[in-house]
Amino acid sequence: MTNGILSKLINEIGEAQADVRAESYSMVNVRPGDKVAVMLDLLSKLAGKSPSALVTDEISRRLADYAASSTSNVDVIMNAAEHALDRENAYGFQEGSALDYLQKAGILEIEDPIKKQVRETHIASKKN
C-alpha cells in the first residue's frame, strides 16, 4: 500500500480546501427584539468588537449543541451535511462550523470520494 505518497496528497488537498472554505461566510441581516439588540450593542461596545465578531464563532458552537440535543435531529444533520458537501470544492466541513464540531464530537462521520476510493482499492488489493 502506497499510503505515504497518497495520504500526503490527500491531506494537502484537504488542507487547501479547508483554507478556501474557512473564509466562506454569508452576511445575514437580523432584526432581533429589543432585549437582544440592547445587550448585543452593550457587549460589543464593552468588548470593542462588532456585534458580528462577538457572536459568529459562538453561533457555530450553539448550533452544534442544538442539533445534538435531540435524537430526532438525525435527518436534520444529514440534510445539512448533504447540502454543505454538495457545494463546490467541498470535501469536508468548514473549520469551526457546527458540522465540524459535530464531526469532531463523533456525532457525524463522512467519507469523501477520495478516501472511499482509497479504501476500495485497499480492499481490492487485499483480495488479490
Partner 1 sequence: MAEEHTRSFTTKRGEFTVRVMQDKLAAHAEEDVGHAKSDRKFNIRVKQDDLCLLDALAKAYGVTRSTLINQILHDILRDELRSIEEGDARVLLAHVADLSASYDELSLPWVYDALGPNFRHMLHSMLEYSNPHGQPPDVSMPAGYQYTEEDYRSTTYLGLRDKLKGLAK
Nearest distance, CB of residue 19 and partner 1, angstroms: 14
Euclidean distance between CA atoms 17 and 88, whole angstroms: 10
Which residue's CB is nearer to partner 1, number 6 or number 91?
91
Nearest distance, CB of residue 37 and partner 1, angstroms: 4
Nearest distance, CB of residue 104 and partner 1, angstroms: 13
Residues 6+ apart with CB under 8 A from 101: 60, 61, 64
C-alpha cell of residue 8: 500526503
Which residue's CB is nearer to partner 1, number 6 or number 14?
14
Euclidean distance between CA atoms 110 and 19, whole angstroms: 18
Nearest distance, CB of residue 53 and partner 1, angstroms: 8
List residues binding partner 1 (CB under 8 A): 21, 24-43, 51-53, 55-56, 58-60, 62-64, 66-67, 73, 75-77, 79-81, 83-84, 87, 93-94, 96-100
Long-range CB contact pairs, 4-12, < 8 A, 24+: 6/118, 10/114, 10/115, 10/118
Which residue's CB is nearer to partner 1, number 6 or number 40?
40
